Amino acid sequence: MSVPNKIILGVTGSIAAYKAADLASLLSKQNCDVRVVMTADAQRFITPLPFKTLTRNPVVTDLYDEDEGWKPTHIEVADSADLLLIAPATANILAKLAHGIADDALSCIALALNPRAKILIAPAMNGKMWLHAATQENVATLQRRGVEFIGPDAGMLSCGYEGVGRLWPVAQIAERALSQLKIGN
């Protein structure tokens, strides 16, 4: 039996956070070892329990969550990853990653990520937030560093506006994540 690919699934505070449970399920069914890291804002939309059940792994919800052993959880998780997938990704996490801000578990893991791991980001936010010059500059910065983006999609947004900002379809995010892992192997 092959060693499963290790994916960190970062879930941030978007209404689309509930869709990340389906994403975790799809990736787990493809023999991926999925470790979910939720921001505090993500937990306002969905609890850790579905992720824990679907991935059969503990969910990191705080920088100071500690497993057994001496190594800090955020370092252990970052060291072992093949892919960091953030879906949904808010404007806030994009700004943190672009500017090296590490003030929660997800942003610390992103900074401590092993250099061979790939990063795939699926944004989801209000269209004006996505199109704002600051967000676009942050995206460009991250792309220059080798971060890949999938989406966002256009359509009716949860805020009532029509436009770009929807989370890309979950099955397509999973497909792209799996293709990223094959490229790296």
Question: Would you please indicate which residues are annotated as catalytic (active-site) residues?
Answer: 159
Q: What six digits make up the tokens of 69?
A: 């052993």
How far is residue 16's CA from residue 174's CA, in Å, rounded to a whole number? 15
How far is residue 112's CA from residue 69's CA, in Å, rounded to a whole number? 18
Q: What six digits make up the tokens of 124?
A: 């989801």
**Amino acid in the structure at residue 7:** I
Give the 3-state secondary structure of residue 45.
coil
Q: Where are the alpha helices (DSSP H) in the chain?
A: 19-29, 49-55, 73-80, 91-99, 105-112, 127-131, 133-144, 170-184
H or E segment at 5? strand 5-11
